[in-house]
Amino acid sequence: MATYSQGGVAQDILADRFPENGDKGIPADLANPAIRLYGRRLYKDETPVEYLAEFLLVFASPKGQNKENSFSLRLQPGTGPSIYWPEDRIALKLFSFFPSSKLDTRHQVHQEEYVNSLEDIKARITGSNEEKEQAVRLLQSLFFGFVGVAKTRTWVTHSFLPASASLLAREVTWNHSAATKNSVTDWDSSTHYFDNSTHNFFGRGGELIFLQLANLFSRDEWPVLENVLTLNAYHHLLPLQLQELRARVESGLQAILTEAIGPIGGLVTFIESALDTYKLENPKKSTKLGWVPSATLPEAFLFAAEMDNICRSTLGPLEKLEVLQALFVMHVLRSLCFQARRIDENEIDTEGFVGNYVWVIANSEAASGTPMRKIAQNSFERIDGMLYRALRSPRLGHNGSIASSKDLRNGDNNCFQHFRKFAKAIGLVIPRTGGGQRFVLPPSLLRFLVSALVAPGERVRLSDFYARVFAHYGIALGDRQLASALCWSGGEFGARDYAVSADTAWIEEALKQGGFLVELSDAVSIVHNPDGGEAEKEK
**What is the DSSP code (8-state) at residue 439?**
E
pLDDT at 180 over 60: yes
- pLDDT at residue 73 above 90? yes
pLDDT band at 9 (very low <50, low <70, confident <90, very high): very low
How confident is the model at residue 486, as a pLDDT? Answer: 86
* Residue range 85-143, pLDDT digits in tens: 999 999 999 999 999 888 888 999 999 999 999 999 999 999 999 999 999 999 999 99
Q: What percent of the chain has pLDDT over 90?
A: 72
Residue 532 pLDDT greater than 80, yes or no: no
Confidence band (pLDDT; 50, 70, 90) for 492? low
Lowest mean pLDDT of 26-40, 60-74, 266-280, name the range.
26-40
148-177 pLDDT, tens digit per residue, is 999 888 999 999 999 999 999 999 999 999
Q: Which of 194-208, 330-344, 398-412, 416-430 has the lowest mean pLDDT?
A: 398-412
pLDDT of 7 higher than 50: no
Query: What's the pLDDT band for 537 if we cut at 50, 70, 90?
Result: very low
Q: Where are the domains of the chain?
A: 3-81+202-258+290-334, 90-195, 344-538
Please, which pLDDT band fits residue 538 given cuts at 50, 70 and 90?
A: very low
Q: How confident is the model at residue 407 (pLDDT cuts 50, 70, 90)?
A: confident
Residue 198 has pLDDT above 50, yes or no: yes
The average confidence (pLDDT) of the chain is 90
3-class SS letters over 180-246? HHCCCCCHHHHHHHEECCCCCCCCCHHHHHHHHHHHHCCCCCCHHHHHHHCCHHHHHHCCCCHHHHH
Task: Flag whether pLDDT at 232 surpasses 90.
Answer: yes
Burial profile 181-193: b = 16 or more Cβ within 10 angstroms, e = fewer = eeebeebeebbeb
CA distances from 329 to 133, 172, 210, 336, 482 (A): 41, 24, 14, 11, 24
Which residue, 163, 430, 454, 160, is CA-closest to 318?
Answer: 163
pTM over 0.85: yes
**Higher pLDDT residue, 532 or 218?**
218
Q: Where is 482: in which H helix or E strand?
A: helix 479-488
